[in-house]
Amino acid sequence: MGQDEMKMYHKKTLVELSVLLQAGEVSSVELTEYFLARINAHDKNLNSFISVTETQALAAAEQADAAIKNGTAGPLTGVPIAHKDIFCTEGVRTSCGSKMLDNFISPYDATVVSKLKQAGMVMLGKTNMDEFAMGSSNETSFYGPVKNPWQSDRIPGGSSGGSAAAVAARLAPAATGTDTGGSIRQPAAMCGITGIKPTYGRISRYGMIAFASSLDQAGPMAQSAHDCALLLNAMAGFDDKDSTCLDKEVPDYTAELDKPLSGLRIGLPKEYFGEGLDAEVEKVVRGALDEYKKLGAELIDIELPNSGLSVPVYYVVAPAECSANLSRFDGVRYGYRCENPVDLMDMYTRTRGEGFGAEVKRRIMVGTYALSSGYYDAYYLKSQQLRHKISEDFREAFEKVDVIMGPTAPDTAFKIGEKSDDPISMYLSDIYTIAVNLAGLPGMSVPAGFVEGRPVGLQITGNYFQESQLLNVAHQYQLNTDWHRAIPEDFL
């Protein structure tokens, strides 16, 4: 073991690394080289990165060290991070996990990337993902599936599976992700890390390649709630480049982390603990809820009667929006173009036929059908009406409780290839997360234990703009447990 490995920087949280950097005990260049070496040593089998930006990372690290030296550094200055390959990064390939954008070099930074760059963070590279964020297992990527660091024959969850796997294997202290129907929370649960999806509109979507515009939201993925709070401080805020971004003051998300939980009312939806939930996963989740009772919280049974409709509603609304958003990929302006087209129509059809994978084509076809003449009212309009009812269920629930808890996913990570030929079964792995996106609420997943060596996540859902409360609730749990500290054996 080399001298750098002896330092075990990968075992430290983002918050702990920040303290070391500010104290001058390690430089950003040293830290960046350390994590680049871990990526080089471990990612060949994991496949969590699509691009590694070593040259840019070391240059940014040097700038961070200069800022620390001259006293202009912030808490995130010099800390390495990985970005999901859905965020545009100036001068770096932004593929969205698709053959369609394999050759696309972005001319600008997404607002999320820009904000974290301004905060002094160092980008290590771009992480693997389901193609155009469409998937729950990270198996639809043009670059091949990502493997779960805990058991390499298992999926890491999706679509932010590359980010989740990279953080779980400690190849990066933190990563960005996006959540359209659970794509931060579900992979966070299956890889044993912490991830939060903020309220819709809390973080700018500018430069984040769109899947379903009314559902997509960016968020941080890291080891702990404290880490996520620091990241959210930098990521959140109004952006006039995004018409869906809300002009609302951003609080300091670290300010209420130490607030005691005495009197906290936790809602337990009966719909989240019924048929379809693995018995061992339920046992782990119940154990986490017992911990909250010890911390002074009250458990209250509630109902979300329309939550069972969330999967069918989502798989009309999301494909409808994706069919519109992905119409721009036509081979004309950027991205993949078929060879030797005979005419314009041949170029369109062959470019899209060759550039998109099977799951993306499936969703485009479903969405186009739902929006077509004669079916719009029956499918898309009806789904939007049901979406409103799902939101109403949450509104009524939050009159009785402060947060809602339950499993993040009905089972632990399944085997790679196990559900590839069964899209309905695949879609049901997001059954507990989708309703949160349809309602635009904030939600997060925290590590709560293991079943046969595979991580289980506890999902915490809050009312609109209550991210501070969610992070406080998660942080207090993590002060009293160490599930978030666990590292897969192969990556110790």
Residue 84 falls in the annotated catalytic set: yes
Count of C-beta atoms within a 10 Å radius of residue 320 = 25
Positive/negative CA dihedral, 27, 256, 243, 391: positive
Spell out a b/e string for 193-207, using b for 16 or more CB atoms within 10 Å of the CB, else e: bbbbbbbbbbbbbbb
Coil, strand or helix: which one is 112? helix
Q: Which of 12, 28, 51, 84 is catalytic?
A: 84
Residue 99: partners with Cβ closer than 8 Å, 6 or more residues away: 142, 336, 354, 355, 356, 357
Distance of alpha carbon 231 from alpha carbon 482, whole angstroms: 21
Alpha carbon dihedral 423, 426, 427, 432, in 10-degree steps, equals 170
Give DSSP secondary structure letters for 36-95: HHHHHHHHHHH--EEEE-HHHHHHHHHHHHHHHHTT---TTTT-EEEEETTB-BTTBB--
Q: Which of 136, 183, 224, 310 is catalytic?
A: 183
Residues forming a β-bridge with 196: 444
Distance of alpha carbon 250 from alpha carbon 239, whole angstroms: 12
Distance of alpha carbon 398 from alpha carbon 152, whole angstroms: 40
Distance of alpha carbon 203 from alpha carbon 477, whole angstroms: 25
| The pair of three-digit structure tokens given for residue 20, joined into one six-digit string | 């070391």
Residue 159 falls in the annotated catalytic set: yes
C-alpha atoms less than 13 angstroms from C-alpha of 469 in its C-beta half-sphere: 19
DSSP conformation class of 131 = G
Q: Which of 159, 160, 383, 468 is catalytic?
A: 159
Residue among 341, 155, 415, 228 at smallest CA distance from 353:
341
Catalytic residues: 84, 159, 183
